[in-house]
Structure 1
Amino acid sequence: MPPQGLGLAPRLRYLAGRARRIDVGSVLDRAKEASALHGKWTPAIVVDMLWQAGLRNVGFQDYIDYDFAILNRAERATYMTHPVSNQLSQKYDDPAFRHIFQDKVEFDRVFSEHLHREWMVVDDDNADDVRAFAERLGTIVTKEPVGQAGTGVHRYHAADIEDWDAFHRGLLTRGELLIEEVILQHSALAAVCPGTVNTTRITAFFDGEKTHILAIAQKFGRGAVSDQMTFGGFYTMLDDEGRAIGPGYDSHGHVHVTHPDSGFVIDQFQLPMMQEVRAFVDRVARVVPQVQYVGWDIVVTPEGPVLVEGNWGAGVYENKPSVTGIRTGHKARYRAAIGF
């Protein structure tokens, strides 16, 4: 694919918006964090962070997460960053189709055959149906149609519910309108954290003919309903064969050589069924081809991969040099596939 570029106008709009929203205190806090971690002079880091943000499309949190304070210019250039990812999303994800990925109910409708689990929508008149659904499955997950980073996701056990009419009213009041069957994950995932369904984030680009897998991150939870960082979760990057390339980490400075609860050694993790996973991502990427750049959340089950959700604003998961010892990122893969 020939280079297409991201365009000067979108970048200038992004920078202008960024300048209006800049939080000087937050930048200083991040700079102090990097200074303490890497033994660098705080004022120098502040200047460098601002320079990287303004001229190199590097988010402030990117600078911290990917240890830019210890990387040279050539190494930094290998990293995908959130500002660049945002520009790709704006360019390659058709606004007319983004709503499918923003509304979880609509997403389940469009991608129903790829979910491989039961689901239903709560309305004013289906309290009996909700009870029957929950009692039959035993445990259910409810979701607010619009949410991100795991917000609006809840887990309920039918045995704990005494007043079903009140439960139904509560779902409506709180906007928990989507109910799903709990996913049964593969034993390889359950061995790390059995209490959370651990998702694999696969960032991919569909060029109209081929699906390119750009990066693979394995997320692990801490027993909560979600494996997102807001619930104490963390992630590790996987190679093309599904092997972890190092320990786990998050955006809060926590590093996990082993899982805090199970003791599983994170860099020993191997995602099963990688051939099936690649084929599955290719299939789901073709359902809405107008949204080309997506972060797919899947779970490998004993029967194969299933779809949790797709994120049209794909976000970025990258290698952390101070944890893995690897000082390069995935940007070359993005460029080869997308041509920017």
Structure 2
Amino acid sequence: MSSQGLALSNRLRYLAWRVRRIDVGSVLERARETAHAHRKWTPAVVVDMLWSAGFRQVGFQDYVDYDFAILNRAERATYMTHPVSNEISQKYDHPDYRGLFQDKVEFDRTFSEFLRRDWMVVEEGNADAVRAFAEKHGTIVTKEPVGQAGTGVHRYHAADVSDWDEFHRDLLSRGELLIEEVIRQHADLAAVCPGTVNTTRVTAFFDGEKTHILAMAQKFGRGAVSDQMTFGGFYTMLDENGHAVGAGYDSHSHVHEKHPDSGFVIADFQLPMIDQVKEFVDQVARVVPQIQYVGWDIVVTPDGPVLVEGNWGAGVYENKPSVTGIRTGHKPRYRAAIGF
């Protein structure tokens, strides 16, 4: 990607898009919260947020989440942001193949050998198959084919179902068409939160020959079916060896030195089987090479890594300076791998 690939024309389009859609109330609220947290003057923060959004491709939530109010220009330049990430996705993830990642049923078909768990599709007339699947596994997870941030994901226990025909009809009517076996996570992950399958987000770029790992984040749930923030989850960044760089945090100003339920010290977390995780990411990245830039959600089990999903719009997970004390981000890795 040339230096011009993410430059003037894209920035002008982004600026025009932001101007048309700006939510003034939301910006002011974020600015006030940021100013209060970092003892800054609110009007100055507002101006800085708008300037950063329009001319530095920094999303408003990026500005808040990554503590841009306390960073200097050089430090800010090291952070990956959502607008830049989106441009990379648009450039390097071929439109003809994005559907394989957007549709969870198609994703499971495409990456079946890497799921390493049972799954099935709910269809007209297969209530008996649904019952057999659920009773075999005891607890199941259902998913709507298209959803994000954990929406459309549900958990059911076979013992709670009394009428399987009705259960089947309800799944069809709600569009919960994908059923999966619940993943059994590694004991080191269960020690932090046993009630949720805790996923590792590995953002990677496949250049046609080599898979580059750009960033790793460990997400933790709060006992719900998903570890996403909409379910109360949070994350911590991992270093290249899979060790947490600090406490956990989310986009709602919550910081977790310890897991609120288990008491586990987040900074002590070490992702097990880190070498196997890296090898696994390289394997899955080669399945659909037309989608080069992906945020892979992986879970380490006692038998090794398994795949949950891949996000062609990879999103961004970054370091939070006020929590970790680290005032640099991962953008240099992105530049080295992708060349922008």
Category of TM-score, reference length = shorter chain: over 0.9
Partners of 1:154 and 1:102 lie apart in 2 by 18
Shift in Å, 1:228: 0.1
The residue number in structure 2 matching 1:281 is: 281
Partners of 2:303 and 2:43 lie apart in 1 by 53
The residue number in structure 2 matching 1:39 is: 39
Alignment of structure 1 residues 297-308 onto 2, 5 Å: 297-308=297-308
The residue number in structure 1 matching 2:62 is: 62
Which stretch shows the higher mean deviation, 314-323 or 11-20? 11-20
The residue number in structure 2 matching 1:26 is: 26
Partners of 1:326 and 1:226 lie apart in 2 by 28
Question: Do residues 328 (structure 1) and 328 (structure 2) align?
Answer: yes
SS of structure 2 residue aligned to 1:212: strand
1:37-69 CA-partner distances (Å, limit 9, x unpaired): 000000000000000001100000000000000
Counterpart residue type for residue 45 of structure 2:
I
1:1-31 CA-partner distances (Å, limit 9, x unpaired): 8757325433332222222111000000000
Alignment of structure 1 residues 245-260 onto 2, 5 Å: 245-260=245-260
Partners of 1:187 and 1:20 lie apart in 2 by 49
The residue number in structure 2 matching 1:165 is: 165
Preserved CA contact (<8 Å) 2:105 2:178 = yes
The residue number in structure 2 matching 1:83 is: 83
SS of structure 2 residue aligned to 1:260: coil
Question: Do residues 13 (structure 1) and 30 (structure 2) align?
Answer: no
Partners of 2:117 and 2:152 lie apart in 1 by 19
SS of structure 2 residue aligned to 1:276: helix
Alignment of structure 1 residues 1-340 onto 2, 5 Å: 5-340=5-340
Counterpart residue type for residue 234 of structure 1:
F
Count of matched residue pairs:
340
Preserved CA contact (<8 Å) 1:299 1:308 = yes
Partners of 1:4 and 1:77 lie apart in 2 by 16
Partners of 1:139 and 1:158 lie apart in 2 by 6
1:224-253 CA-partner distances (Å, limit 9, x unpaired): 000000000000000000000000000000
Structure 1 runs of 4+ aligned residues shifted over 4 Å read 1-4
SS of structure 2 residue aligned to 1:45: helix
Where structure 1 has 5 or more consecutive residues not aligned to the other structure, the ranges are: none
1:118-149 CA-partner distances (Å, limit 9, x unpaired): 00000011000000000010000000000000
Shift in Å, 1:32: 0.4
SS of structure 2 residue aligned to 1:179: strand
1:305-327 CA-partner distances (Å, limit 9, x unpaired): 00000000000000000000000
Preserved CA contact (<8 Å) 1:100 1:110 = yes
Question: What TM-score, normalized to structure 1?
Answer: 0.99
Shift in Å, 1:155: 0.2
Partners of 1:96 and 1:12 lie apart in 2 by 26
Question: What TM-score, normalized to structure 2?
Answer: 0.99
Counterpart residue type for residue 242 of structure 1:
G
Partners of 2:107 and 2:8 lie apart in 1 by 32
Preserved CA contact (<8 Å) 1:246 1:267 = yes
Partners of 2:15 and 2:113 lie apart in 1 by 40
Preserved CA contact (<8 Å) 1:6 1:91 = no
Preserved CA contact (<8 Å) 2:236 2:247 = yes
1:280-325 CA-partner distances (Å, limit 9, x unpaired): 0000000000000000000000000000000000000000000000
Counterpart residue type for residue 302 of structure 1:
P
SS of structure 2 residue aligned to 1:296: strand
Partners of 2:54 and 2:2 lie apart in 1 by 27
Where structure 2 has 5 or more consecutive residues not aligned to the other structure, the ranges are: none
Preserved CA contact (<8 Å) 1:296 1:309 = yes
Alpha carbon RMSD of aligned pairs, Å?
1.0
Preserved CA contact (<8 Å) 1:97 1:290 = yes
Counterpart residue type for residue 90 of structure 2:
Q
Preserved CA contact (<8 Å) 1:219 1:227 = yes
Counterpart residue type for residue 53 of structure 1:
A
